[in-house]
Amino acid sequence: MSSNNNHHDHPKENFIQSYIFSVDHKIIGIQYGITSLLFLLFGFSLMAIMRWQLAYPGTEIPIVGFLFGEGGVLVSDQYNSLGAMHGTIMIFLGIVPLAVGAFGNYLVPLQIGAIDMAFPKLNAASYWTYFVGGVIMISSFFMPEGAARSGWTSYPPLSIFENGQTIWLISMIFLITSSLLGSMNIIVTIVQLRAPGLTWMRLPIFTWAQFVTSFLLVLAFPPLEAAAVMQLMDRVASTSFFLPSGLVMSGEIVEVAGYGSPLLWQHLFWFLAHPEVYVLILPALGIVGEILANNTRKPIWGFKSIIYSMVFLGFVSFIVWAHHMFLTGMGQAMSAFFQTTTMIISIPSVVILTSYFLSLWGGSIRFNTPMLFALAFLPMFGIGGLTGLPLGLAASDIYLHDTYYVIGHFHYVVAPGTIFALFAGIYYWFPKITGKKMSEMLGKLHFWPSLIFMNGIFMPMFIQGLAGVSRRLADGGQSYAHASGVLEWNEFMSISAFCLGLAQIPFIVNIIMSLFSGEKSSRNPWDSTTIEWAAPSPPVGHGNFDKPVNVYRSSYEYSVPDAKKDFKPQFEK
Amino acid sequence: MSGDNSKEAIQEHIRVYMMVFGALAVLTVITVLASFLKVSTSEAIFLALIIASVKASLVAGYFMHLISEKSMIISILLLTVFFFFIMIFLPLISYTDSAGVHVPWVSIK
Amino acid sequence: MEIPYSIEEREDTGLINSKLGIWIFLASEVMLFGGLFSAYIFLRLAAPPGDFEYWASKLSVPMATVNTMVLISSSVSMVMAWASLKLKDFSKFKMYMGITLLCSALFMVIKYFEYTSKFSHDIFPSSSTFMAIYFTLTGLHGIHILGGVVVMLYFYLPFSHQLWHDQPEHFTNRVEALGLYWHFVDLVWIFLFPVLYLL
């Protein structure tokens, strides 16, 4: 996107141009990475406060208790705010920017042998839009109304009249715009900027995953943007998009035109939010694929089936959304349709997971830190996926909907699922990004407690959910007799959560220490086959590679008989 | 548009643009006139959308050059149109195919 | 370093980056307006019978018909502006771009009168769900027109004329991308007009 003709002389850029408003995808990827990791930490802290309340109801919250009224104990409004903001921040400010904004932006151009993304300035714009959206979202905590508290799902009529929602909606508009710009950039980059010889079927799984994910973001987010505008108008312009007639609040009739529909919000929201969960998992599946191939020293089993499954998954993800709405009084035909499509969508996930398990068979497995996280991902994602099945069938969902079972299900997929894959990716690509190696010892110290405590938090949730404990209860279910037998798990789960937090300390220490005094890394420390390892570590500032990239074979030529070592990189003759 | 960069090709395109302009003007008049026909609501909706679709196809096909566009673009658009119809029709059907819980509208005015 | 395929097409896809990029953006816009159209249908079903027809009758069909013709004309002048660039006639380009800008301004002026006449009769988005979706759909469409006008001004005023002199193909491609966006805005109106004003 340069407006002058010369290629090699750049005017000397100042600090602001080079690092703050950089248009280099590597800097932007790092910006996304740091910002999203900080947001993840913040979102985690919100949950830790909630979990204290659930474990020790009525007691003062340590350290930050002074921020909350009533003697350091959460009142229900505050609990609800923490809940809604935890979900929102983890998904929209944490995972998606990390998985797509950070990993996608940094690695896709490198993996396809390109010098940058197709639209570098647009890339910078998408980061800064995300940043502004994030600031707005966090600022809601400091506003007089307080932060949003109607769930991350923001269902009307509650969300129309509850506090904090207006800022949430404005922030979402920025975040959605950022996402649209970023994903459009990724699609054009992958289609147009692949190196010579890099055909579609030679693309690594990671890049395919980013490609499908970007389509989901481009096509599924806009209806939510439309719905957010409508909800904003309901709040500030007194429209009745989502408000039915005859609403009574605090004993008084609500003076609105009426004839609106809360169901309309649910349809438009879930039209995005279902593909959104595949946005959360697909990049993770991509990362795991790379690391498994590399550390089994074998090509991934069923590469083509995996790719077709990812594409099919992306497609079907658009027609399953109403399985979140089984309890809204839908008729038999619709219920049957959505149950069927939901069952169908489990097939590609199973194909991918099974292929990954089969890839391990006969492999020369190296148990380094990225591999440990990638291996743990497999059964964890399996549990997450399997526990989704009763939720996709209306008969069982009627009982399990909005219980802790649901929370357990989706956290298994996202927490020891996606987040583990993202950790694996950070350990795997850290040498490429920084030119330094991370400590294996600290990595293992991070991994094992994290795995144990993740299960400690989320496994009992299935027990609580099956007993009928509803989600989003500020008192944790204490006022319900049917919950009494299972609430004793709360203390165990909360302690697991706090220990999980402590288990992240080795990770943070590892990153900082390795940045400054880590062992220098070679170009290809993991002996990998994909193109990003052709670049120096870290890659060349402008242009990534120090010689032209050509691709000669598919992405996972490991254990090739006549190779110099035990692999043939894509980029070497 | 690298194949047809010649002056003649562009002039031919311009002729087409003018013809489409004429067609669009006529169709706009027809749209308004059709709204005065005494037909049922669903017939009126059908008619209006058909005429609008013809106009839209002309704009998309000739002004936006979709008629000669590369397959990558066409496939992305077909995918989009498919999801567009899903988004229009499935909520609609779920509204009409409900389990009978919609109460008659209470007028409180 | 130059990003490849900004000006010359990539062989296997036959596309330049900006063309693919703008079409993907337009695909997302189809879903954006589609969400609002879906809302229209849902709200119409949810309203009592005849409610939407009652409120729609308060809209001015003549004003909207004129606006339809104005927008279609602007679409023609936009594509003619691009064709002039292909014929290397920069002054014709400026003339046609100027016409497009005038048509856009006229559209917004008529829209301004439409809106103010509603407000002066105490009709607001809060008055009914029809009015809510009417103002939202036409308002969002209007914001898209304004966005297009900003980019048009950028190409019309001397800001970017250096690019025409240095890299005419690049300039032409950018105007083509703008044109595609503008035709899309016209397309949305082609559906908005009958749905909101005539049904």
User: Over the stretch C109-119, which tens digit does the pLDDT of each residue have?
Assistant: 999 999 999 99
Instruction: Break chain B into its structural domains and give their ranges.
Output: 1-64, 70-97
Expressed as residue numbers, the domain containing C142 is: 17-198
**Among candidates A191, A264, A542 on the partner chain, residue whose Cβ is nearest the Cβ of C43:** A264
The pLDDT, as a whole number, for residue A13 is 64
The pLDDT, as a whole number, for residue A1 is 39
User: Rounded to an integer, what distance in angstroms lies between the CA atom of residue A416 and that of residue A462?
Assistant: 15
Residue A485 backbone dihedrals phi, psi, to 5 degrees: -70, -25
Where is average pLDDT lowest: A404-413, C39-48, C135-144? Answer: C39-48
The pLDDT, as a whole number, for residue B101 is 55
DSSP structure class, residue B69: -
User: Which tokens in the block code for residue A112?
Assistant: 């396809």
User: Which tokens in the block code for residue C163?
Assistant: 């690019």
Residue C172: partners with Cβ closer than 8 Å, 6 or more residues away:
C82, C85, C86
Sign of the alpha-carbon dihedral angle for A248, A249, A251, A252: negative
For C35, the closest chain A residue by CA position comes to: A223
Helix ranges restricted to H, chain C: 17-46, 51-56, 61-86, 90-120, 129-156, 161-166, 168-192
Cβ pair C196, C137 in contact under 8 A: yes
Q: Tell whether B81 lies on the interface with C, counting CB pairs under 8 A.
A: yes
Tell me what the mean pLDDT of segment C174-179 comes to. Answer: 95
Binned at pLDDT 50, 70 and 90, residue C75 comes out as very high
The pLDDT, as a whole number, for residue B107 is 45
DSSP A454-466: HHHHHHHHHHHHH
Sign of the alpha-carbon dihedral angle for A249, A253, A257, A260: positive
Of A65, A60, A69, A94, nearest in space to A146 by CA: A69
User: Rounded to an integer, what distance in angstroms lies between the CA atom of residue C100 and that of residue C64?
Assistant: 18
- Mutation target to probe the B interface, by most B beta carbons within 10 A, among C31, C71, C76 is C76
User: Rounded to an integer, what distance in angstroms lies between the CA atom of residue A157 and that of residue C192?
Assistant: 28
Bridge partner list, A544: A540
Q: Is the pLDDT of residue B102 over 70?
A: no
Residue C82: partners with Cβ closer than 8 Å, 6 or more residues away:
C93, C172, C175, C176, C179
Which portions of chain A are predicted below pLDDT 70? 1-13
The pLDDT, as a whole number, for residue C73 is 96
**Among candidates B25, B76, B105 on the partner chain, residue whose Cβ is nearest the Cβ of C48:** B105
User: Rounded to an integer, what distance in angstroms lies between the CA atom of residue A397 and that of residue A70?
Assistant: 37
Decide if C32 is inside a domain: yes
The answer to whether the Cβ–Cβ distance between A322 and B83 falls below 8 Å is no
Encoded amino acid at A72, one letter: G
Decide if C105 is inside a domain: yes
The answer to whether the Cβ–Cβ distance between C35 and A191 falls below 8 Å is no
Instruction: Break chain A into its structural domains and give their ranges.
Output: 22-246+255-534
Cβ pair A126, A101 in contact under 8 A: yes
Helix ranges restricted to H, chain B: 7-34, 41-58, 71-96
Decide if C7 is inside a domain: no
Q: What is the pLDDT of residues B49-72, one digit of tens each?
A: 999 999 999 999 999 999 999 999
Cβ pair B58, C178 in contact under 8 A: no
The answer to whether the Cβ–Cβ distance between B101 and A329 falls below 8 Å is yes
Largest CA distance in chain B: 68
Of A344, A357, A315, A88, nearest in space to A211 by CA: A315
Give the count of domains, chain C.
Answer: 1
Cβ pair A371, A295 in contact under 8 A: yes
Decide if C12 is inside a domain: no
Mean pLDDT of chain B: 86
Half-sphere exposure (Cβ direction) of A366: Cα atoms closer than 13 Å? 16
| Residue B22 CB neighbour total at 10 angstroms | 11
Decide if C142 is inside a domain: yes
Decide if C4 is inside a domain: no
For A240, the closest chain C residue by CA position comes to: C129
Q: Is the pLDDT of residue B42 over 70?
A: yes
Residue A403 backbone dihedrals phi, psi, to 5 degrees: -105, 175
Decide if C99 is inside a domain: yes
3-state DSSP call for residue C175?
helix
Cα angle: B55, vertex C114, B53; to 5 degrees: 10
Q: Is the pLDDT of residue B103 over 70?
A: no
Residue A360: partners with Cβ closer than 8 Å, 6 or more residues away:
A292, A296, A375
User: Rounded to an integer, what distance in angstroms lies between the CA atom of residue A531 and that of residue A534?
Assistant: 5
CB within 8 Å of chain B, chain C residues 87-116: 87
Q: What is the pLDDT of residues A211-240, one digit of tens each?
A: 999 999 999 999 999 999 999 999 999 999
Residue A151 backbone dihedrals phi, psi, to 5 degrees: 80, 160
Predicted model pTM: 0.94
User: Which tokens in the block code for residue C53?
Assistant: 């027809």
Cβ pair A246, B106 in contact under 8 A: yes
Give the domain CATH number at C183. Answer: 1.20.120.80
> Which residue is it, tokens 């809601």?
A140
Q: Is B78 exposed, middle or buried (0-12, 13-18, 19+ CB in 10 A)?
A: exposed
3-state DSSP call for residue A520?
strand
Cis amide bond preceding A157, omega within 30: yes
Of A24, A114, A104, nearest in space to A551 by CA: A114
A22-246+255-534 maps to which CATH number? 1.20.210.10
| A252-253 and A248-249 strand pairing | antiparallel
Cβ pair C174, C93 in contact under 8 A: no
Of A179, A177, A172, nearest in space to A269 by CA: A172
The answer to whether the Cβ–Cβ distance between B91 and C198 falls below 8 Å is no
Bridge partner list, A520: A436
Angle between helices A120-139 and A25-55 (to 10 degrees): 20
Q: Is the pLDDT of residue C6 over 70?
A: yes
Bridge partner list, A11: none
DSSP A386-429: HHHHHHHSHHHHHHHTTBHHHHHHHHHHIIIIIIHHHHHHHHHH
CB within 8 Å of chain A, chain B residues 53-92: 72, 79-80, 83, 86-87, 90-91
User: Rounded to an integer, what distance in angstroms lies between the CA atom of residue A156 and that of residue A149?
Assistant: 12
User: Which tokens in the block code for residue A381?
Assistant: 């994602």
User: Which tokens in the block code for residue A127?
Assistant: 């980061």
Q: Which residues of C74-96 are buried (b: 16+ CB within 10 A; e: fewer)?
A: bbbbbbbbbbbbbeeeeeebbeb
ipTM: 0.94
The answer to whether the Cβ–Cβ distance between B106 and A245 falls below 8 Å is yes
The pLDDT, as a whole number, for residue A10 is 54
Decide if C172 is inside a domain: yes
- Mutation target to probe the C interface, by most C beta carbons within 10 A, among A193, A247, A264, A549 is A264
Residue A356: partners with Cβ closer than 8 Å, 6 or more residues away:
A288, A289, A292, A300, A301, A378
Q: Is the pLDDT of residue B105 over 70?
A: no
Q: Give how far A246 is from chain B: nearest CA, Å.
A: 7
Cβ pair A170, C11 in contact under 8 A: no
